[in-house]
A = this chain, B = another copy of it.
Amino acid sequence: MGTLTFIGMGLYDEKGISLRGLEAARSAHTVMLEGYTNLMPGLRLDALEALLGKMPLLLSRGAVEDGGEILRAAEERDVAFLVAGDPFIATTHVDLRLRAARRGIRVEVVNAPSIISVAPGAAGLQNYKFGKSATITFPPPQSDVPYDTLKMNRAAGLHTLFFLDLRAEEGQFMTANEGLRLLLDAERRRGEGAFAPGTLSVAIARAGGPEQLVRAGTAEALSGESFGKPPHSLIIPGRLHFMESDALVAFAGADRALVRGCE
């Protein structure tokens, strides 16, 4: 019986792996990698292979969800399974860990940065002021979850982090622009005042890498801007502390009057 080590790769490229993760991947018999790695905009397979001293076996999304190949390998030898971001953010990976435990496979975990902590920090917003997060999914159908989440958080003065839907294997990533338009659509449909064209919004592109971009402005203004290559995410702030306002002005180009109005 081998060990299955989940190793987070972080958000940008092969250099996001920790030293502990690198050691574990180098010493494993087999390295497997989620093949839909366009989640990590800077990742190059040849650079990863050079770093690890072996070629990772690429797994399709279907193979990761099925899990059989990973589990069968880990029953016989040590397997390092490389994933974008931090390992147990995705339900698929929690499920895989549970199935490994049931088969008696020893599981180890090496953490890495996740969009959950990186996006708030990139915008200079305080983590403890975030409420529930949600994913804005590609329509149809138009899910009510993002709008309901935003309404609940804003009523409590809390910030909302939105993950944007992706079909990574098909190369489809929702842009921050589309996310904002879907929130504006939801407001027109629902009319409950949780969001408006003038609402302060923050778009984050390529979080956690050297090409990270953070822009704050009204939903209307941002939906006309271009943020470049994916992945993108969105934050809709609630009440701002003055240091958060200063950070949005300094790091995200926000208009001072706009952020002051949210303090």
Contact = CB atoms under 8 A, between A and B. Distances in A.
Contact of A152 (B91, B156, B163): B156
Interface string A95-125: 1011001100000110111101110111010
10 contacts: A18-B18, A86-B118, A88-B124, A91-B243, A101-B251, A111-B118, A113-B113, A116-B116, A130-B132, A131-B131
A205 to B, nearest CB: 15
Contacts of A95: 243
Interface string A152-163: 100010100001
Given A18-B18, A88-B124, A152-B156, 15 more contacts: A11-B111, A16-B19, A18-B113, A19-B51, A86-B117, A94-B121, A95-B243, A102-B250, A111-B121, A112-B113, A113-B114, A116-B116, A116-B117, A117-B117, A130-B132
Interface of A: 8, 10-11, 14-20, 22-23, 51, 86-89, 91, 94-95, 97-98, 101-102, 108-109, 111-114, 116-118, 120-122, 124, 126-135, 152, 156, 158, 163, 208, 210, 212, 243, 246-247, 250-251
Nearest to A114: B117
A51 B10 CA distance: 21
B88 A122 contact: yes
Taken together, the copies of this chain in the complex come to 2
Contacts of A122: 88, 109
A135 B10 CA distance: 26
A170 B212 CA distance: 37
A150 to B, nearest CB: 13
A15 B23 contact: yes
Contacts of A118: 86, 111
Residue from A18, A102, A124, A132 having most chain B Cβ neighbours under 10 A? A18
Contact of A94 (B17, B124, B163): B124
B19 A250 contact: no
A15 B11 contact: no
A15 B18 contact: yes
A127 B133 contact: yes
Contacts of A17: 18-19
Contacts of A121: 86-89, 94, 109, 111
A25 B129 CA distance: 31
A135 B210 CA distance: 32
A170 B49 CA distance: 45
